[in-house]
Amino acid sequence: MFWVYILRCNDQSYYTGHTDDLNIRIKQHENNAIESCYTSTRLPVQLVFWQPFATREEALFAEQRIKGWSRAKKEALINKNWDEIKILAKRKKAAHASRRRCAPPQRERF
């Protein structure tokens, strides 16, 4: 079993990670066992979300996807607000589409 998790740091930022042992990994964060980790200067941390996955690849994919999300979308996930996640996903798609329409044409390369 593998896990994706989100920690709320002391500075109210979020850290997203994945692990094969959630209890040990959270203790490592809490005890500053990995000094170069993002959370090491933002202690204490609080576990606010976790989700199991069957494989490491699935957990890693989910971690990378969540890391790309806005703070609002992460908070919707933490609160299990699926309707808000859908709304925020649509907003991002609409914003992305409008940027493509306004982009200057690409020059041909020779």
Q: Name which of 1, 2, 4 is nearest 64 in CA terms.
A: 4
Cα–Cα distance measured from residue 27 to residue 37, given in angstroms and rounded to the nearest whole number? 13
More confident residue, 103 or 88: 88
SS3 105: coil
pLDDT per residue as tens digits for the range 3-31: 999 999 999 999 999 999 999 999 999 99
pLDDT at 101 exceeding the cut of 60: no
Q: Name which of 40, 21, 19 is nearest 31 in CA terms.
A: 40
SS3 48: strand
> What's the predicted TM-score (pTM) here?
0.82
pLDDT per residue as tens digits for the range 36-72: 999 999 999 999 999 999 999 999 999 999 999 999 9
pLDDT of residue 100: 57
Domain range summary for the chain, segments of one domain joined by +: 1-68, 70-103
Q: Which CATH number fits domain 1-68: 3.40.1440.10, 3.40.50.1100, 3.40.50.1820, 3.60.10.10?
A: 3.40.1440.10
Q: What is the CA radius of gyration of the chain?
A: 18
